[in-house]
Structure 1
């Protein structure tokens, strides 16, 4: 009798535990939704700024209907939602996955554009020259990656609706990266590392020949060669400098006035 009661008690406890588990398990309201409804609801969440919810819906859509007409669009939307959510790593992973899976998709140009935007906006403070942080301590890797993405877009899809904006951003990135190199060159010059200053300034002249920062890069080369006691190289640099910038503020000594160095490009 006691054994029977013990078994009955155990069975009762197990039943109660099962009921409790069933009650605590959340009900997935989307389980019966069609692909079109899942996509529509996900888009609504995205438009409302509920990015996490939108991502969940898009991922369920792709998982449940991997070969449907909405699956590829869901992959693109997930990348955008992560971008708007402020999750650049997840957004870039989603973009790269899409490009790898669908290199010939009719909207793959948008994914190259989005990849550029993610890198561009993720590190926009990289080129905030009013920041107190020394720019020489920062890594412009994201800017270069943004440049590469926009360049791929422009080269592969010159007639894309995103191409004109990409070109504008490319111009900005070229100027910004050139200014970064100039700042590092100045950093070395101020610390007496004149050869290093020359090398960084030469990078600007060689790689960013049309950027406004070339003016100061040449001026740094003149000063650095002078400090190194290399009159021939100094004179060559000065000749090129004066030939290209005969009315330069640096020649007039105006660069030493109160205006911060980067203000000359604004």
Structure 2
């Protein structure tokens, strides 16, 4: 074959291949945009779980699309709004690990914290979700202090602290009522040291003084009663603690 003709055919073949790639890319982009918009439409209609399911297929079909990360974030949102908090936790963690520098990674961190917050428990139950929510809210504030998502978390953190403080108080009272004063004192001390801004602090100080008194530690009991009376003079627990002064 003529060398010149061979070169000419090679160039044509390359152009056809490149043209085909460009067409495929345009087709994929159009398809990704269409499916992404369809998922958004379902979200607008309140069909969150259906949208999350579609976005799972979307991610598998268009993993390298320019809409890929948008789809991941939208799936996090739709699973959260659909009440699938464990899935939200998984998706948020995955996004943070794979896209640590993404401009919207603060949103994923916020949603991770909110997935735990929405699974929060009352004072009578295990506090793992409450503590995980606090840790992730704190992480968001520390790593993204200027984020708009960090602005509304402090009241939520305080609410969680209140619950954990009440939990420690209830456990301490459980031990106290069964004459296990050392175990009780440990729980009340934890409230005083770690949850002193919570609603459990006044009662915890009283029971800590009472625990010390039961153990024959009169000086320590008096110190806790004095601290209670000084900081909360109008508290009913301050009046009850006068017996330890």
Q: Indicate the TM-score class for this superposition, using the shorter chain for normalisation.
A: 0.7 to 0.9
Question: Are residues 1:54 and 2:51 paired?
Answer: yes
1:125-144 matches, within 5 Å, as 126-127=121-122, 135=124, 138-144=125-131
Give the conservation status (yes or no) of the 8 Å contact 2:228–2:238: no
Q: Which residue of 2 aligns with 1:107?
A: 104
Partner of 1:73: 70
For 1:176, the equivalent position in structure 2 comes to 163
Tell me the alpha carbon deviations over residues 49-103 of structure 1, each in whole angstroms, 9 at most, x when there is no partner. Answer: 2223212321222222212221001111222222222222221111100000001
For residue 250 of structure 1, give the secondary structure of its aligned residue in structure 2. Answer: helix
Asked whether the 8 Å contact 2:112–2:136 carries over to 1, the reply is yes
CA distance in 2, matches of 1:102, 1:217: 44
Aligned-partner Cα distance in 2 for 1:148–1:77 = 24
Match of 2:189 in 1: 202
CA contact (8 A) 2:85 2:118 kept: no
1:112-143 CA deviation, whole Å, 9 max, x = no partner? 111111111112xx23x6xxxxx1xx210000
CA distance in 2, matches of 1:140, 1:156: 24
Structure with greater helix share of residues: 2
Q: How does 1:8-87 map to 2 (within 5 A)?
A: 34-87=31-84
Aligned residues: 214
Separation (CA, whole Å) in 2 of partners of 1:64 and 1:209: 52
SS in 1 for 2:226: helix
User: Closer, same or farther in 2 for the Cα pair 1:243/1:81, shift >3 Å?
Assistant: same
**Is the CA contact (8 Å cut-off) linking 1:154 and 1:167 kept in structure 2?**
no
Structure 2: any 5+ residue segments left out of the alignment? 1-27
1:213 aligned residue: 200
Does residue 1:232 correspond to 2:219, yes or no?
Answer: yes
Pair 1:222-2:219 in alignment: no
Q: Which piece of structure 1 moves more, 181-190 or 215-224? A: 181-190
State the Cα RMSD in Å: 2.1
Equivalent-residue separation in structure 2 for 1:187 and 1:113 (angstroms): 35
- Which residue in the other structure is 1:264 paired with? none
Unaligned runs of 5+ in 1: 1-30, 130-134, 255-266
Instruction: Name segments (4+ residues, structure 1) moved above 6 Å.
Output: none
Provide, for residues 8-49 of structure 1, a one-character-per-residue CA deviation record: whole Å limited to 9, x for no partner.
Answer: xxxxxxxxxxxxxxxxxxxxxxx9971111011001112222
Please list the CA deviations of residues 158-185 of structure 1 after superposition, one character each: whole Å capped at 9, or x if unmatched: 1111112112211222222112211211
Q: Secondary structure at the match of 2:81?
A: helix
Question: Is the 8 Å Cα contact of residues 153 and 166 (structure 1) preserved in structure 2?
Answer: no
For residues 65 and 153 of structure 2, what CA distance do their matches in structure 1 show? Answer: 31
Which of 120, 136, 155 aligns to 1:149? It is 136
